[in-house]
Structure 1
Amino acid sequence: MENKNKYNHNTEDYVVEDNKKTRFGGTFIAIVLIILIAAVAVTGVFLGYW
């Protein structure tokens, strides 16, 4: 699918553009996932599963 931007250049169709919002969103999601994984690991240690 082709898309023409305001300068009449052909651009590829991206679902997610590389801008400040998407970088922040990706970083935020990655940090939340790491925190959740760490919380599960700590819970496993305290409950004696590991």
Structure 2
Amino acid sequence: MSLEELQEGSKAISDVLEHDLPKMQKEKPENISSTASNICDRCGRNLYRLF
């Protein structure tokens, strides 16, 4: 992967976040319980959330 391709990808991600992040933050639920179960119903593993 060339430096130019990396810069192009970085710019694309930046543009998407600039456009979509405010919308995503507005849609994020306010009351998320810290005790809410994030366990996969298929495998039983604990799921980790990025946001």
Same fold (TM over 0.5): no
Larger radius of gyration: 1
Higher helix share: 1
Q: TM-score range by the shorter chain?
A: 0.3 to 0.5
